[in-house]
Structure 1
Amino acid sequence: MARTVRFHEIGGPDVMRLEDLEPGEPGPREVRIRVDAIGINRAESLFRSGQYIEPVKQLPARLGNEAAGVIEAVGPEVTGFQKGQAVSVVPNFSHNDYGVYAQQAIVPANALLPRPDAVDAVSGAAVWMPYLTAYGAMVEVGGMRAGDVAVINAASSSVGLAAMHTANRLGATPIAVTRTRAKRQQLLDEGAADVIVSDEEDTAKRVLQLTDGKGADYIFDAVAGPGVVALARVVAADGTLFLWGALSGQPTPYPGFDLGMPALNMRTYTMLEITKDPQRLRRAAAFVTSGLRDRVFRPVVDRLFPLEEIVQAHRHMESNNQFGKIVVTVSH
């Protein structure tokens, strides 16, 4: 039996329960892994509370699509992986189909990346989602180049930090946006060229000041909601406003008409655009691996929680006080 997190009703962190379940055997194109560490993702909080872009289809439901561990069993039609191999699980599947909040979990083989010996389980669970997200929007979709300016809000999140590291890797200039001054110095230490404290400054006005009136080539918005109107005002000519999160929880208008119909590029983006496409995932993995090898990429881990404290881990995530990735460790 494997300790497994499930929830039997939609709600807050307290609806999650640790249960003893039979892990089962992998089917075609699946593997079973011993889970050693789990990356906690905002999407899981939204799914659990019924606010995600995909609804919960059946209760009880599982959670989790980021993990690191070791393959225990390989199902039919799986090639390229073997029992005993250290791997990371990247999100490319629905929470309605699989979940890695457990001591053992079955996952699709196409969600696995080999984990090098130098990458421990905590790093292997923390590094991939943030950097695959950043790579996909900035490189694969956005085509960011050296000299471009990128404005990144929710910058102290794991994705925000990975986006800053990625911008620096490309020779672009990352401008971090954070609500309070508390994380300002940490963001500068992580490579932000400038930090805008949105509770104290007019973000749009400050972006124009920092760019000599040109505006930002890219804005990566994890908040969405009414604030997109102000952000859209400071997108440079031929620039793009990416919406890759909706932390505000409010309706998001299309601002183009209110602003006089400028040539505004605005698109939504999720990491699934990368992880569900084998060729894009191959390129993304090579890019991130190169950054890890050169030590310009690294997971920024905020706190570790044991699996038995999964409720506390989610409460901490929803407090918005973290800096970087929250990781859950799993004992056996």
Structure 2
Amino acid sequence: MSRKYVFNATGGPEVLECIDTAVPAPSAGEVRISVKAIGLNRAEVMYRTGHYVIDPVFPAQLGYEAAGIIDAIGPGVSGLRVGDAVSVIPGFAFTDYGMYGELVNAPARAVVRHPETISFEKAAASWMMFTTAYGALIEYGALSAGETVLIRAASSSVGLAAIQIANMVGARPIAITRGQAKRQGLLDAGASAVLCTDDKNIAADVERLTAGKGARIVFDPVGGPGAADLIRSLHHGGIFFQYGALDHSDIPVPVFDLLGKHLTIRGYELFEITTDDEKLARAKTFIIDGIASGKLDARIDQVFDFDDMAAAHAHLESNSQIGKIVVRV
């Protein structure tokens, strides 16, 4: 028997239940993993509270990211072996797989051997954040040296990943955060500048920092009224990526900026990358190379024990962290 977390009603962290379950042998195209660490994600909080893109099916499992050791291989799997140290990349629905367990099955296409130089905790923290940022900034945005990207909610794990990826390709990451408390932490994380939405003059600040040129990409998981100033900060041909909805209200679009600058405003989600084998292969190469070179390094805010999953979720919801929250199994 193996322990895993499920929930049978939406609500706060207290709805999480740790149960004993038998984990079957992996089916075709699957591997079974003895989990050593789990990376937590905002999507899991949204799913647990009933505010995600899909509704939970009870008893509901959850968990997109894990790292561990393969202990069994299903039919038709190639390129992976029993004993491999691997990470799981989010590329499936919670209704199909969940990583909050001591022993889990995962689709082999979403499993990658991670560099031996990193710990299981770092491996479990890496793939959601770096793949999400890679997809918008590199796969679709083609961010290049000398260009400016505005990164909202920059102290989140994905925001920190975007800062590192921008620096990796020689671009200029400007971090956007709510107040002054995280300014130094973001500068230490590699942001070239930090702007606060509390100041309410983002567009003017970006114009000043870029000598009037503006940014080419905005990477925003928040949305809401504050997105308008970020859209105004884009230069001609700029792209606004909305990859979350922390503010559920609609985005006001400044129409003359949209028309006059020929802007692109698009929704973006991780699964555009992780459900496409060719795009996922490019992401794996980029991220593994970045980790191996040390240019990409997942920042971990805090590590919790498996028995303290509810406390880990509560910390995630506090919004006080800078970086990734990891659960050690």
TM-score band w.r.t. shorter chain: over 0.9
Q: Which amino acid letter does the alignment assign opposite residue 20 of structure 1? A: D
The corresponding residue for 1:103 is 102
Shift of residue 117, structure 1, vs aligned partner? 2.0
The corresponding residue for 1:19 is 19
The corresponding residue for 1:114 is 113
Contact 2:23/2:104 (<8 A) preserved = yes
Structural mapping, 1:1-332, within 5 Å: 1-56=1-56, 58-248=57-247, 250-253=248-251, 255-257=253-255, 261-262=259-260, 263-330=262-329
How many Å separate the matches in 2 of 1:243 and 1:196? 19
How many Å separate the matches in 2 of 1:103 and 1:322? 25
Secondary structure in structure 1 of the residue aligned to 2:321 = coil
Range with bigger deviation, 135-144 or 113-122:
113-122
Deviation per residue, 1:22-56 (Å, 9 max, x gap)? 11221111111101000000000111111112222
How many Å separate the matches in 2 of 1:51 and 1:274? 23
Secondary structure in structure 2 of the residue aligned to 1:133 = helix
How many Å separate the matches in 2 of 1:176 and 1:41? 20
How many Å separate the matches in 1 of 2:215 and 2:107? 39
Shift of residue 190, structure 1, vs aligned partner? 1.2
Contact 1:88/1:113 (<8 A) preserved = yes
How many Å separate the matches in 1 of 2:286 and 2:256? 39
How many Å separate the matches in 2 of 1:254 and 1:265? 14
Shift of residue 319, structure 1, vs aligned partner? 0.6
Secondary structure in structure 2 of the residue aligned to 1:44 = helix
Shift of residue 321, structure 1, vs aligned partner? 0.4
Deviation per residue, 1:126-157 (Å, 9 max, x gap)? 11111111111111111111111000010011
List gaps (5 residues or longer) in structure 2.
none
Shift of residue 259, structure 1, vs aligned partner? 5.4
Secondary structure in structure 2 of the residue aligned to 1:225 = coil
How many Å separate the matches in 1 of 2:46 and 2:250? 17
Shift of residue 8, structure 1, vs aligned partner? 0.3
Secondary structure in structure 2 of the residue aligned to 1:321 = coil
How many Å separate the matches in 1 of 2:133 and 2:62? 23
How many Å separate the matches in 1 of 2:55 and 2:95? 9
Range with bigger deviation, 230-239 or 99-108:
230-239
User: What count of residue pairs does the alignment treat as equivalent?
Assistant: 328
How many Å separate the matches in 2 of 1:94 and 1:260? 34
Q: Which amino acid letter does the alignment assign opposite residue 34 of structure 1? A: S
> Structure 1 segments of 4 or more deviating over 6 A?
none
List gaps (5 residues or longer) in structure 1.
none
How many Å separate the matches in 2 of 1:137 and 1:215? 18
Contact 1:256/1:264 (<8 A) preserved = no
Shift of residue 201, structure 1, vs aligned partner? 4.5
TM-score under structure 1 length normalisation = 0.95
Contact 1:32/1:74 (<8 A) preserved = yes
TM-score under structure 2 length normalisation = 0.96
Secondary structure in structure 1 of the residue aligned to 2:198 = coil
